């Protein structure tokens, strides 16, 4: 039977490409999203992938969301924790709310989703979890103490949880994307972005599909010996 995969933030940007790639590879996909109803509706119309609305920062909503997906599509065996937000500002200007929102969504969302699906994965003896980190969690970035801390936390979370899943058939890995051509990166001031792109050895922004390809590799049934690892996909910008 086809495995059921949940992709958080799965209707736009990198998440959209992941949802589509998983569907093309034969998975039954549930694309979670938090806010943009119009984009989610358009995504579902074009791809045929159902969109499920809940906020990954809300633990109870994640538990209810996983329950609903399982009732409608079947046991969740693959989770891609991709949902993420930025609230960039220098420390001087960063409000406490900008810290909390980014930590609660980007890192708290990983806990909430994994916790909600973990017992089922343990009981079935199979699971594939991929957490989307960031080059900026590895290297830091000016104006992103919140985002870099959350993404760096994802890499620690991945290594710790992978140890708990290893003997139970559950792999937990991370991907650290570099600068990818998405709405999030388009929001970076153009003069700042130009300087960043100039430092990417491949000479361009990445494509969302290039991250999706890494996800397919990590979630494959044959990937049982790959766990606790981080796959950097960044055009050579940072070698870690
Ligand atoms: N290194 C050193 N100094 C820097 C700098 C840098 N990287 N970036 C900016 N500065 C300096 C500026 O030169 C300026 O100095 P002066 O005051 O002496 O002129 C000062 O910092 C203030 O800069 P800004 O005018 O840009 O300040 P701001 O408050 O308007 O904006 C900012 C600050 C929000 C951080 C803005 O620079 C910004 O958005 N930067 C981009 C941050 C970024 O790369 N975010 C990534 C988003 S995409 C993503 O996160 C996806 C992923 O995983 C890769």
Partner residues linked to 32 by β-bridges: 52
Given ligand 1 and candidates 140, 142, 194, 235, which is best to mutate, with the most ligand atoms within 8 Å of its CB?
A: 142
Instruction: Identify whether the C-beta of residue 79 lies closer than 8 Å to the C-beta of residue 116.
Output: no
Please compute the mean of the pLDDT values over residues 36-53 and round it to a whole number. 97
Average pLDDT on 38-59 reads 98
Longest dimension (CA), the chain: 53
Ligand 1 touching residue 141 (CB < 6 A): yes
pLDDT for 148-200, tens place per residue?
999 999 999 999 999 999 999 999 999 999 999 999 999 999 999 999 999 99
pTM: 0.96
What pLDDT band is residue 240 in, cutting at 50, 70 and 90?
Answer: confident
Token representation of residue 56: 């990954």
pLDDT tier at 56, thresholds 50, 70, 90? very high
Q: What is the mean pLDDT of the chain?
A: 97
CATH value of 4-233 in 3.30.930.10, 3.40.395.10, 3.40.50.720, 1.20.1260.10: 3.40.50.720
The residue to mutate among 154, 182, 192, 211, having the most atoms of ligand 1 within 8 angstroms of its beta carbon, is 192
Q: What is the pLDDT of residue 1?
A: 82
Q: In sequence order, which ranges of the chain are alpha helices (DSSP H)?
A: 13-24, 37-47, 59-73, 96-102, 108-124, 135-139, 145-165, 183-186, 190-197, 208-219
Whether 98 has a pLDDT exceeding 90, the answer reads yes
Residues 109-148: pLDDT tens digits?
A: 999 999 999 999 999 999 999 999 999 999 999 999 999 9
């Amino acid at each position: 039977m086809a495995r059921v995969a949940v992709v958080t933030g799965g209707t736009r940007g990198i998440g959209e490409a992941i949802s589509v790639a998983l569907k093309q590879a034969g998975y039954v996909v549930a694309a979670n999203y938090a806010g943009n109803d119009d984009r989610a509706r358009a995504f579902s119309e074009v791809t045929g992938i159902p969109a499920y609305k809940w906020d990954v920062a809300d633990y109870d909503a994640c538990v209810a969301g996983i329950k609903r997906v399982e009732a409608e599509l079947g046991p969740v065996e693959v989770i891609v924790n991709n949902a993420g937000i930025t609230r960039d500002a220098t420390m001087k200007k960063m409000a406490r709310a900008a810290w909390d929102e980014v930590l609660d969504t980007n890192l708290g969302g990983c806990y909430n989703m994994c916790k909600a699906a973990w017992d089922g994965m343990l009981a079935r003896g199979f699971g594939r979890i991929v957490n989307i980190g960031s080059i900026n969690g590895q290297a830091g970035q000016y104006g992103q103490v919140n985002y870099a801390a959350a993404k760096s936390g994802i890499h620690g979370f991945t290594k710790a949880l992978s140890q708990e899943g290893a003997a139970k058939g559950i792999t937990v890995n991370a991907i650290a994307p570099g600068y990818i051509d998405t709405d999030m990166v388009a929001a970076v001031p153009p003069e700042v972005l130009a300087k960043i792109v100039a430092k990417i050895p491949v000479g361009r922004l990445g494509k969302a599909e290039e991250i999706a390809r890494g996800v397919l590799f990590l979630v494959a049934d044959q990937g049982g010996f790959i766990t606790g690892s981080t796959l950097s996909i960044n055009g050579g910008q940072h070698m870690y």
